[in-house]
């Protein structure tokens, strides 16, 4: 099988590298050509136009920033006509309706489409320990399972196209909410003069504990938010998608809208490319200022 990988950013690059490490023939495209150099060095075929990658491959993996990028790369007139007989696996975070509309367009061109968004960040992408959630027909899931296992050992079949996108949005909401809640408690503990190690000792022994707390703790204490596992701007995009979908269900969104405000404050205080754990100074410094 020849695989085209379209989108080799923070997550796409290590995912594509895993395919090369498994000796899968890979054709790669990215809108920023410089990001392709590590793949070129590892033996991937590099192309300058998306249609060249699509024509050369049996299966096309998409790890693009949003639905607009997918339309621009995959569904322009020149690319759309090359989709016949090919499998499209969409692995980025988009909303369910966008995923269904892209599926319909791909099928109309004679191709097939499944969604396979992931939970995890760069360390999991490098080690093949992402949680892969699949939306499509169960037969499609079974047929693409071996390929998807290069990204995560146990890809989970969720249901029809749209269902995996919905689940991903729900999980991303938890990422943002858990991280801001932990940052608030950590800032409170520090300002009250309580030992952080004691706080973490009690927390780890409780049912309140989540491993993500320890993953973010060192960054928050050191104030080092470079080399992001998940950039703040990306998390904001995913929270905006969640809020948009959840509004239509009539849910009370006060909590996540508050988190969204914190994320936007974070963007103003740091860099959009900084790790999302940089919510900590946005919360702590606000507390210091308001406290006098």
Q: How confident is the model at residue 186 (pLDDT cuts 50, 70, 90)?
A: very high
| Helix 163-191, helix 196-204: angle, nearest 10 | 140
Q: How confident is the model at residue 1 (pLDDT cuts 50, 70, 90)?
A: confident
Residues 127 and 171 in one domain: no
> For the chain, what is the largest distance between any 2 Cα atoms, rounded to a whole number of angstroms?
65
> Of 143, 160, 177, which closes a domain?
160
pTM: 0.93
Residues 25 and 155 in one domain: yes
- CATH assignment at residue 110: 3.40.50.720
Asked if the model's pLDDT at residue 99 lies above 80, the reply is yes
> Of 140, 160, 180, which closes a domain?
160
Residues 175 and 115 in one domain: no
Residues 135 and 267 in one domain: no
How many other C-beta atoms lie within 10 A of the C-beta of residue 117?
Answer: 26
Distance CA 266, CA 230 (A): 14
Length of the chain, in residues: 292
How large a percentage of the chain has pLDDT more than 90?
92
Domain count, the chain: 2
Q: Find the angle CA(21)-CA(26)-CA(27) to the nearest 5 degrees.
A: 150
Mean pLDDT of 266-275: 89
Residues 202 and 155 in one domain: no
Asked if the model's pLDDT at residue 292 lies above 50, the reply is no
Distance CA 155, CA 253 (A): 30
Residue pair 281/267 in contact by the 8 Å Cβ criterion:
no
Mean pLDDT of 94-104: 97
Mean pLDDT computed over every residue of the chain = 95
Residues 187 and 259 in one domain: yes
> Of 106, 137, 160, which closes a domain?
160
Q: Which residues contact 226 (CB under 8 A, 6 or more apart)?
A: 274, 275
Residues 87 and 44 in one domain: yes
Residues 189 and 134 in one domain: no
β strands within 155-279, DSSP E: 156-159
pLDDT of the residue at 287 = 55
Please list, residue by residue across 267-279, b when 16 or more beta carbons sit within 10 angstroms of its beta carbon and e when fewer do. Answer: beebeeebbbbbb
Distance CA 267, CA 261 (A): 10
Residues 124 and 201 in one domain: no
Asked if the model's pLDDT at residue 79 lies above 70, the reply is yes
Residues 200 and 271 in one domain: yes
Residues 116 and 205 in one domain: no
Distance CA 290, CA 251 (A): 31
- CATH assignment at residue 188: 1.10.1040.10
Asked if the model's pLDDT at residue 290 lies above 80, the reply is no
**Rounded to the nearest 10 degrees, how much is the dihedral formed by the CA atoms of 231, 236, 238, 242?**
160
Residues 101 and 55 in one domain: yes
The residue range of the domain holding 246 is 165-290
> What sign does the dihedral 103-104-105-111 (CA atoms) show?
positive
């Amino acid at each position: 099988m020849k695989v085209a990988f379209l989108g080799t950013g923070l997550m796409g690059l290590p995912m594509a590298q895993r395919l090369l490490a498994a000796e899968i023939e890979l054709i790669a495209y990215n809108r920023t050509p410089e990001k392709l150099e590590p793949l070129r060095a590892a033996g991937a075929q590099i192309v300058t136009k998306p249609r060249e990658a699509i024509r050369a491959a049996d299966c096309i993996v998409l790890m693009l920033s949003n639905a607009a990028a997918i339309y621009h790369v995959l569904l322009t007139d020149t690319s759309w006509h090359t989709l016949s007989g090919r499998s499209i696996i969409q692995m980025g975070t988009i909303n369910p309706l966008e995923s269904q509309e892209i599926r319909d367009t791909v099928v109309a061109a004679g191709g097939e489409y499944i969604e396979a968004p992931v939970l995890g960040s760069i360390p999991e992408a490098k080690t093949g320990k992402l949680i892969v959630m699949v939306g499509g027909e169960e037969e499609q899931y079974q047929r693409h399972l071996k390929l998807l296992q290069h990204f995560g050992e146990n890809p989970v079949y969720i249901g029809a196209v749209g269902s995996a996108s919905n689940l991903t949005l729900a999980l991303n909401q938890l990422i943002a909410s858990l991280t801001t809640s932990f940052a608030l408690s950590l800032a409170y503990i520090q300002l009250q003069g309580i030992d952080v190690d004691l706080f973490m000792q009690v927390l780890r022994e409780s049912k309140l504990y989540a491993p993500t707390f320890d993953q973010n703790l060192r960054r928050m204490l050191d104030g080092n938010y470079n080399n992001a596992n998940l950039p703040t701007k990306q998390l904001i995009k995913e929270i905006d998608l969640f809020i948009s979908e959840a509004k239509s269900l009539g849910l009370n969104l006060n909590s996540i809208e508050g988190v969204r405000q914190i994320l936007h404050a974070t963007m103003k205080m740091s860099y959009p490319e900084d790790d999302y754990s940089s919510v900590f100074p946005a919360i702590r410094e606000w507390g210091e200022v308001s406290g006098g």
